[in-house]
Each structure stands twice: as C-alpha cells, then as structure tokens.
Amino acid sequence: MWNQFFLQEEYTGSDYQYIGKLQSDQDHGNGVVKYVLSGEGAGTVFVIDENNGDLHATRRLDREEKAFYVLRATVVNKRTGQKLEPETEFTIKLHDINDNEPQFSKEVYTGSVPERSDIGTSVIQVTATDADDSMYGNSAKLVYSISQGHPYFSVDPNTGLIRTALGPGDMDREQREHYQVVIEAKDMAGQRGGLTGTTVVNITLTDVNDNPPRFTQSIYQFAVPESSKSGTPVGRIQATDRDIGRNAEMFFTIVSGDGMDMFDISTDKDTQEGVITVSKSLDYEKKQSYTVEIQVQNTQMDPRFMSSNSKDMATVRIAVEDVDEPPLFDKASYVMDVKEDAALGAAVGSVSAMDPDSARSMVKYSIDRRTDMDRLFNVHPGNGSVFLLKSLDREENPWHNISVIATEFNNPRQISHVPVYIRLLDINDNAPTFATVYETFVCERTKAGQRIQTVSAVDADEPSAGHKFFFSLASEGNHRSNFTVRDNGDNTAGILTRRASYSRLLQSVYLVPVVITDGDYPMQSSTGTLTVRVCTCDREGNMELCNAEALSSSPGLSTGALIAILLCAIILLRSDP
C-alpha cells in the first residue's frame, strides 16, 4: 500500500510538518474506517489523523542524528475494532540539507620538514570529514585550501597533503624555524554558500648540516708552566656552529706548527670546545714558546653542503713559563764496582747533578740514610764522589743499593734522588773446604791402590775463571804409609789404600789429613781430616762389622780404654748404697 515517504530535515515551521497521506481501499468516506500508526516514533515524533490518514511530524528532525524511521500502519472498523486489511510497513527518509561544517580529525597538527628541502616536498597530510550525506548532492564534498602560510607552503585541494612551496634557498632554519599554517576545508565542493572548517598546523624546519663551524677568534694565546705533566690542560678554544644537535658536533686537529709533537687537542663533548693539553715534557731552558695551527670541522658532514669553507683555522701561541726545578742527575741510575778488600775511604765512583734552571744554583750531595742503615758509604757534598766508611765482604752481601740526594743550595726544598747500585768484586779471601762430611770405611782384607772414597770441595769465593781445586796428603804423620790421595783433575780426588790388609783389633780408626788448595791468587788452602773406619767386609766388599770405637762419636778411644771405662762404671754402681 505504501513504501516510503520523504521529509526534509531541520524544519523550522511553527505547525506540524506534513509528510503525506495514507490511503486505504477500505476507506469509502463513510467514517467507518480508522487509521492506526505504530513503529519508530509513532505517537511522539509522528502522528496520523485517524479519520483521513494524514501523516505529520511533530518536531524538527536531524538527518545526521537519524537518517530514516521504519513505521507500520493499518485500518480498523471504528465500531468493531476489526482490522480491515493487513498491517503495512513503510519508511520515512529525511532529506539532507547542508547543515554541518567540515570537521578536522585534530584541532592542531604538528609536522616537520628538513630545511633546504626542494619545492613540493611532503610535510604532513590533514583530513576533514563532513557529517552531511555524501550520497546526496555536494553537502559533504570537501575542498582544502590554505588561508595562512603563504608563500611557504601549499595544500592539495583534494587530499589535504601539505607541501613546501619555496625552494632550498628560502627555507633556512637558521633564518626561521617555526611556521603556523591555517588550512580550510570547505564543503559544497568549495562553491559559494558552503560551510568551512579550519585547523592549525605547526610546522618546524629540522636542521641539516648546512653551516660549518667558525672560530670565535683567529688567534689564541695561552701560558703553561714547564713542570706540567703529560695530559695537563693548557687552555680551551671555542668555535660556533649555527646548526644544532649532531650537526653542530665538531672535532679539532693540530695541523702544523713547532708544537705539533708537544701538545694534543681533544673535544669536550659537553661544550664542544677544543681542549689543548700537554703531550710531552716541556723545558723552559730549551724553548720558551710554541705556535700551532688548529683546524676545526664537523664530525657529521652533509655532502650537499661540503665545500672549501667547511673547515676553519686558528693560530694558538703557547708560552712556556719558567719553574724552579730540582737538580737533574746526568744518569737515571748509576752502577759502581769496588773490590771487597778496598780500604776505608777508598773511592767507589761519583755522581753528577746540576740545576737545570738558568740560575744554575750550586748542588750539594748526601746519602739517603734510609738506604744505608749500616753507614757503609758516604758521598762528598761538593763533587759527588762516593767512598767507603766501613769494610765490605762480598760473601756476606755482594750488592749494596743506596740512594744519593742532590739538593739546591739556594732552595733546599728542591731535591732529587738517584739510585746507585754498588757491586762488590770478589777477592780470593776464602779457603776451600770439603763439600760435605764424609763417612769412609776400609775393609780389613783389601788390596793396595783400592779407592775407598771420592771427595770434592766448595769455596765461598767466585773467581771469574771458575773454581780449580787441588788435593794432596798432608806431609807429616804416619798416615802416608796407610793411605794416599789421587787428584782427579776435575775438582775431585780419590782416597786410596796403600796396604793389602788392615786389622780393626790393632787400629779401628784412621785420621787422614787432606790438604785442599784453590787455584786463584792469592792462593788459599785448608786441611780437612777424613775419618776412615776399619770394618769386616764380605767377599763383595760390603761392610759387615766395625768395632764399637769406630761407631762411637769419639773415634780416638782404643778398645782397652772403652773396657776400662765400663769397669769403672760397674765398680761405682756396686759401691752405691
């Protein structure tokens, strides 16, 4: 019966807004038919005249709030209430009018673009929407334009994409960094009478490295004491760069000058200043001033803006200040030799120091007694000659390490120390002795010329050509008929028998004196006594039995003497009450 009705939105009349008439075939005009309305807004938003089917809207409607309503209508007999035909559904659609201005997605946009960009470089895109019906007329068809921001930027009228409108030479961050652009979006395809929405776009030009660093002055002057150690700061030089951030970072280099090897330069990362420091020891007496040429450039270079002007140069003059310095020895250390038998007062060697300052103050020498607690040495205060105060013994201590002090006469606080290493030269003042205590025995049955012991010697001296020992039998005594000594020629000797048999009952112990002589000058010798026990041996010459006196700690007592001592002890024990 009915499909749809159309109603214009935003009606401003004082009466109800007429929509249309519902007509039924059962209505013959006799007043029997009654029209009934139901569905969305029935009875409130929409009303129907139950007698003739006229349909009205009771208030102003907004399409953007609700675009259509679905209702149902039927006719009934007024007297019986019986439906005269089935219920029918229909739609009321609201016709759009241009009553909504475009709205941007943000009130304020923020964008950026590198300075010096080419014309047409994209910056940012803005977007607006219109709540009106995009399917009906041009109410929602938008066109973008720029109302503030000329001549620096432009906007695409269809997409809202903002681009740069000037060339690289006109978009310089160092001249102007921030721009505020106002963009308009107008509906009705931009035609007169359309509604307009606006937004603000804050655009920042980001930095590129298009400016080189420049020194704040062409000549710098500094002074540094000659006593300054390596790494001591001398001064700071400053360069400025109109760029910012990493594009303003710089490094400094010493490129020429007579101080290239004497000084270094580095960059303070916080202040971007060049810090000049001492590299090598300075000496006012040798050179009083230096000049260096220093170059500065950016650490991050942009090839688009590189040129011969990308670096800057400055001259730095550094004066070396005189400092009262301590005496300076002509050597870092001294090694001296002296014979161990040198007489008291004998010269060991000499040290030499001088005042390096131009005043050339006199120097006085002394021994640091903390290094010579026994006061073995002394030094002449005027000429630095080191001499002996006490006797020395190489075998007791072959080296003596002392420290000599040099002091300025005019300023006793200026002192220097130097180590002196004194080596004692060996003198043959010790006789050789047996290398160990030998326990020697001879079998009762043996043969003449039988070797019963090999001996060697030691000597506390250290001759430069090495030790050479000679062995012989002492000339006096009856031992010569019993034993003999054979020098082996290799610093050892063999003890040999001169008889074929010995009797431990007749004599159980022999004392054999051996003379040991060294081969150095003056020759030194000593006599070592070898104790030989007489023992019973098996056929292979292995010891089986030796007399008690031979085993005792007093090998000079005879068997009879031992028996007598035992008898005396027994008598004393028996007479004890």
Q: Is the pLDDT of residue 465 over 70?
A: yes
Q: Which two tokens stand for residue 428?
A: 């043959």
| 214-321 CATH, one of 2.60.40.60, 3.30.420.10, 3.10.20.30, 3.40.50.720 | 2.60.40.60
CATH of domain 103-206: 2.60.40.60
How confident is residue 100, by pLDDT bands cut at 50, 70 and 90?
confident
- pTM (2 decimals)? 0.52
What CA–CA distances, in Å, run from 141 to 2, 67, 387? 33, 19, 114
CA distances to 345, 378, 398, 518 from 395, rounded to whole Å, are 21, 22, 6, 17
pLDDT for 260: 95
What does the pLDDT look like over 479-531, one tens digit per residue?
A: 678 999 999 999 999 999 999 999 999 999 999 999 999 988 899 999 999 99
- Tell me the pLDDT tens digit for each residue of 401-418: 999 999 999 899 999 999
Cα 177 off chain centre by: 40
Beta-bridge partners for 316 = 220, 292
Domain boundaries, the chain: 4-95, 103-206, 214-321, 328-425, 433-560
CA neighbours closer than 13 Å in the CB half-sphere of residue 157: 7
* Cα–Cα distance for residue pair 570/573, rounded to 1 Å: 5
Q: What's the fold here for domain 328-425? A: Immunoglobulin-like (2.60.40)
Fold classification of 433-560 (topology level) = Immunoglobulin-like (2.60.40)
For position 548, what pLDDT does the model report?
52
pLDDT in tens, 552-566: 433 444 444 444 444
CB-based contacts of 339, cutoff 8 Å, min separation 6: 424, 425, 427
Query: Can 103-206 and 328-425 be said to share one CATH topology?
Result: yes
Residue 477 has pLDDT above 80, yes or no: no
Instruction: Please identify, in words, the CATH class of the domain defined by 4-95.
Output: mainly beta
